[in-house]
């Protein structure tokens, strides 16, 4: 009998610009980061017994493949990934897995995609599964849809798997074509500021926004027969159907159309080395997310407003699903510490909450750290 131990890792992600449009066939501009989730997985010699150990919270679950009930939320993500891989025809036996990570939960850095993609990468290696990166990405996305109840787009999992150090991705979420863009920010650095709030609205409001976008698009299609997706809609066309949309539908659609255009223009600015213009688009993105898509919150709005009068900061916006988490900021490198000190004081004055900052590097995507086969050994 041969036993195998696999150590896998997958990162969280940032998104420079392009929020809440991945599930609306828009463009997004994410990148993998140098924080992630590390799994150690080994076969345990059984047909279907699984044991999972979440080290960060010291919680364990045991179940049989296909027979799991009453799992805690963190385990539903993993069970969903497991069942989605099996849905591709993968033959997976019993195993034990231990994992830990340093992606802050609820920060908008997609700790969930990091968790899913590291787990999936490890299982594929452990069981020698003939699945490609796209199948891995899709399995992780659908795990959230079917087992957690979050109808996420594909951006988070895509960035976690496909990221490259020093480069951002521009992903076309309509046809899944993509390109890598060098991320040379010159004298500026990416700094995340964690609001340390996580409003309960997040999951239900996320699904509500998606439903509103879908209903608006259906109404647009009924008026314009050539429309297939939001990519066929510009602001002029949207204005022509405004009387047919509810106030909420119009606002959501306006964000999707304008944000898609901002991603294209922001990627041009990045490629041209115009970091000031990139920052300007980030500010406009936040305004749209706050006012039209209504997924910001007072704490995030405060963090963005506190940057506007600081010439050492070129851009700021909320990042991730919203209602809490982090803002992403372009800060002049020489003044990062003093900017953080000021923001910490003023944010605490405004909301009585301590601020946490992260200075991140853009890193590589999901990978196998080691894979070792042991002969005639029980692990």
Report which secondary-structure segment, H or E, holds 222: helix 202-223
Contact present, 166 and 362 (Cβ < 8 Å)? yes
Name residues whose C-beta falls within 8 Å of residue 261's C-beta, 6 or more positions apart in sequence: none
Q: What is the rounded CA–CA span in Å between residue 280 and residue 18?
A: 14
Are the beta carbons of 59 and 73 closer than 8 angstroms?
Answer: no
Distances from the Cα of 39 to the Cα of 31, 113, 289, angstroms: 21, 13, 35
Instruction: Establish whether 156 is a catalytic residue.
Output: yes
Nearest Cα neighbor of 18 from 273, 314, 328, 291 is 328
Which of the following is catalytic: 22, 25, 128, 156? Answer: 156
| Cα-based angle 73, 78, 83 (whole degrees, multiple of 5) | 120
Q: Which residue has the tokens 């799994």?
A: 39
Say which residues have a Cβ less than 8 Å from residue 157's Cβ, sequence separation at least 6.
113, 116, 117, 136, 137, 138, 140, 141
User: What residues are labeled active site?
Assistant: 156
């Amino acid at each position: 009998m041969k036993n195998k131990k696999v150590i896998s890792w997958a990162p969280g992600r940032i998104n420079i610009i392009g929020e809440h449009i991945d599930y609306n066939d828009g463009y997004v501009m994410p990148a993998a980061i140098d924080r992630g989730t590390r799994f150690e997985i080994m076969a345990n010699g059984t047909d279907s017994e699984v044991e999972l150990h979440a080290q960060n919270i010291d919680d364990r679950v045991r179940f049989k493949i296909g027979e799991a009930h009453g799992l805690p939320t963190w385990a539903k993500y993993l069970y969903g990934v497991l069942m989605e891989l099996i849905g591709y025809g993968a033959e997976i036996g019993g195993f034990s897995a231990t994992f830990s990570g340093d992606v802050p939960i609820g920060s908008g850095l997609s700790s969930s995609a990091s968790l899913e993609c590291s787990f999936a990468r490890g299982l594929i290696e452990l069981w020698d599964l003939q699945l490609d990166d796209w199948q891995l990405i899709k399995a992780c996305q659908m795990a959230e849809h079917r087992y957690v109840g979050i109808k996420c787009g594909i951006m988070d999992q895509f960035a976690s798997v496909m990221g490259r150090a020093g480069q951002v991705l521009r992903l076309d979420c309509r046809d899944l074509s993509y390109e890598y863009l060098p991320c040379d920010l010159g004298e500026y650095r990416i700094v995340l500021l964690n609001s340390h709030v996580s409003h309960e609205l997040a999951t239900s409001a996320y699904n509500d926004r998606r439903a509103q976008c879908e209903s608006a698009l259906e109404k647009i299609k009924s008026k314009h027969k050539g429309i297939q997706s939001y990519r066929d809609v510009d602001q002029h066309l949207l204005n022509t159907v405004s009387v047919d949309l509810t106030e909420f539908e119009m606002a959501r659609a306006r964000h999707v159309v304008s944000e898609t255009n901002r991603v294209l223009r922001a990627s041009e600015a990045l490629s041209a080395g115009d970091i000031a213009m990139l920052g300007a688009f980030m500010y406009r993105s936040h305004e749209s997310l706050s006012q039209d898509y209504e997924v910001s919150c007072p704490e995030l709005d405060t963090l963005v407003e506190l940057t506007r009068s600081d010439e050492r900061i070129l851009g700021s916006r909320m990042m991730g699903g919203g209602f809490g988490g982090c803002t992403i900021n372009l800060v002049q490198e020489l003044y990062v510490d003093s900017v953080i000190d000021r923001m910490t004081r003023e944010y605490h004055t405004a909301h009585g909450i301590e601020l946490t900052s992260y200075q991140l590097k853009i890193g590589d995507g999901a990978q196998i750290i080691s894979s070792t086969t042991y002969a005639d050994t029980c692990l």
